[in-house]
């Protein structure tokens, strides 16, 4: 039986706890969270309770730790796990700044204690299959990438003041997931440009952004994101894999290659019937089948392999740092109006 602890029994922490409770080979030993509601939660669920996570790690010495704390606590909590040799599943973003992410990555690499970053979409069947098709060359050379993350957030979501201020908007909260998926499927993004708008909701933070991406492979991409649009075009809906949202089968991402094109999550693969076809010839549709697995279950299963040291972390702290840096570069591009080269931006932070 693998013994896990949970740092932070808030919104996503409790989802992790549910997944752990449903797994036959894993037990949740304790939670650490100073909030009174977390003490009640621990009591109601019959797990140990600590206000302080260092005290919990020390007393319980678990096999693994799930870190679902506010972003600024990711670095100290990750370092505390590493000091005790405890593998952790670190919720995204890996840390609140690039410098903090780098420090965590270096500590993990120097100690050999793994950090798995919780970009759960990488464990989703549609994202995995899209990566495979691109990497195996089924699309030919990748030329274009075009994606959308468009949804209509509930009004009371914005009751928390930080969600109305710069930094609390869809670029850093939502787009970071898409950037991670794009890096996973298509490879590194080396330059970005962006516009933002706050016209739909009128808050200080952006509600909408358009982003232009240049991939290291040479492929070019565009992505639009908004928390103020009624639409079915976002991974949350199309994948059927998200925790809190309805499923709306369809596509949110379109990958264009020299020999075929693919839409995700409906996995429609289009290519000419004849190998040397061109725009005068019809394209034929083939739907790629997906395994009937679930991203969060797959993530937990993978974390168990990481804990057992039978698999390297699919998303290391350094990998999470690249996703964070690319997303922050987009925010900087929008703020400054400049094109931002991601490697230079990373080096400067």
Ligand X SMILES: NC(=O)c1ccc[n+]([C@@H]2O[C@H](COP(=O)([O-])OP(=O)(O)OC[C@H]3O[C@@H](n4cnc5c(N)ncnc54)[C@H](O)[C@@H]3O)[C@@H](O)[C@H]2O)c1
Among positions 71, 198, 231, 288, the unique one binding ligand X when judged by CB under 6 A: 71
Among positions 58, 70, 249, 344, the unique one binding ligand X when judged by CB under 6 A: 70
> What is the arrangement of strands in the sheet containing 283-287, beginning at the earlier edge strand?
283-287, 268-272, 261-265, 251-257, 142-150, 220-226, 208-215, 189-197, 340-341
CB of 236 to ligand X, least distance (A): 9
- The one segment of 29-37, 154-162, 182-190, 198-206 that binds ligand X by CB under 6 A: 29-37
- Nearest alpha-carbon partner for 324 in 133, 115, 187, 180: 180
Contacts of 344 (CB under 8 A, 6+ apart): none
CB of 166 to ligand X, least distance (A): 17
Rounded CA gap, 4 and 27, in Å? 6
CA 134 to chain centre: 19
Among positions 4, 5, 6, 7, the unique one binding ligand X when judged by CB under 6 A: 7
CB of 160 to ligand X, least distance (A): 9
Among positions 3, 45, 54, 73, the unique one binding ligand X when judged by CB under 6 A: 73
- Confirm if 220 and 211 have CB atoms less than 8 A apart: no
Q: Which is nearer to ligand X, 158 or 270 (CB)?
A: 158
Q: Is 115 helix (H, G, I), strand (E, B) or coil?
A: strand
Shortest-Cβ-distance residue relative to ligand X: 10
35 binds ligand X (CB under 6 A): yes
Q: Which is nearer to ligand X, 35 or 84 (CB)?
A: 35
Among positions 5, 26, 32, 130, the unique one binding ligand X when judged by CB under 6 A: 32
- The one segment of 16-24, 62-70, 265-273, 326-334 that binds ligand X by CB under 6 A: 62-70
CB of 249 to ligand X, least distance (A): 21
Among positions 2, 3, 12, 231, the unique one binding ligand X when judged by CB under 6 A: 12
34 binds ligand X (CB under 6 A): yes
Q: Is 152 helix (H, G, I), strand (E, B) or coil?
A: strand
Strand partners, 145: 221, 255
320 binds ligand X (CB under 6 A): no
What is the β-pairing status of strands 261-265 and 268-272?
Answer: antiparallel
11 binds ligand X (CB under 6 A): yes
Q: Which helix H or strand E contains 193, and what residues bound it?
A: strand 189-197
Residues in 96-155 that interact with ligand X by CB under 6 A: 118, 120
CB of 117 to ligand X, least distance (A): 10
Question: How would you classify residue 228: left for phi > 0, otherwise alpha for psi between -120 and 50, otherwise beta?
Answer: alpha
Among positions 33, 180, 206, 319, the unique one binding ligand X when judged by CB under 6 A: 33
Residues in 76-95 that interact with ligand X by CB under 6 A: 91-92
Handedness of CA 152, 89, 16, 24 (dihedral sign): positive
What is the β-pairing status of strands 142-150 and 251-257?
Answer: antiparallel
Q: Which residues bind ligand X (CB under 6 A)?
A: 7-13, 32-35, 38, 53, 68-71, 73, 91-92, 118, 120
């Amino acid at each position: 039986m693998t013994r896990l602890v949970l740092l932070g029994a808030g919104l996503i922490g409790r989802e992790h706890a549910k997944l752990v409770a449903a797994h036959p080979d894993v037990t949740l030993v304790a939670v650490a969270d100073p909030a009174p509601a977390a003490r009640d939660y621990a009591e109601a669920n019959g797990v140990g309770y600590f206000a302080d996570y260092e005290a919990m790690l020390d007393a319980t010495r678990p096999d693994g730790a799930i870190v679902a704390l506010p972003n600024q606590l990711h670095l100290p909590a990750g370092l505390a796990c590493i000091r005790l040799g405890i593998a952790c599943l670190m919720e995204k973003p890996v840390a609140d700044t690039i410098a903090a992410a780098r420090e965590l990555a270096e500590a993990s690499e120097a100690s050999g204690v793994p950090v798995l970053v919780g970009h759960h979409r990488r464990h989703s069947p549609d994202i995995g299959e899209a990566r495979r098709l691109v990497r195996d060359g089924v699309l030919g050379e990748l030329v274009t990438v075009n994606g959308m993350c468009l949804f209509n957030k509930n009004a009371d979501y914005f009751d928390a003041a930080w969600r109305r201020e710069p930094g609390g908007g869809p670029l850093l909260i939502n787009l970071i997931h898409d950037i991670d998926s794009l890096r996973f499927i298509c490879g590194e993004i080396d330059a970005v440009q962006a516009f933002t708008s706050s016209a739909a909701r009128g808050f200080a933070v952006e509600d909408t952004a358009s982003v232009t991406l240049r991939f290291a492979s040479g492929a070019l991409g565009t992505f639009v994101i908004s928390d103020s649009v009624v639409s079915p075009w976002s991974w949350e809906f199309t994948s059927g894999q998200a925790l809190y949202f309805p499923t709306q089968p369809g596509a949110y991402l379109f990958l264009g290659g020299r020999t075929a094109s693919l839409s995700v999550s409906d996995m429609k693969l289009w290519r000419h019937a004849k190998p040397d076809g061109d725009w005068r010839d019809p394209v034929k549709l083939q739907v790629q089948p997906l395994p009937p697995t679930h991203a969060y279950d797959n993530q937990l299963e993978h974390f168990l392999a990481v804990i057992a040291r039978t698999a390297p972390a699919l998303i290391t702290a350094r990998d999470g740092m690249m996703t964070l840096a690319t997303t922050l570069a987009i925010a900087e591009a929008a703020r400054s109006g400049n094109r931002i080269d991601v490697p230079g931006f990373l080096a400067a932070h």
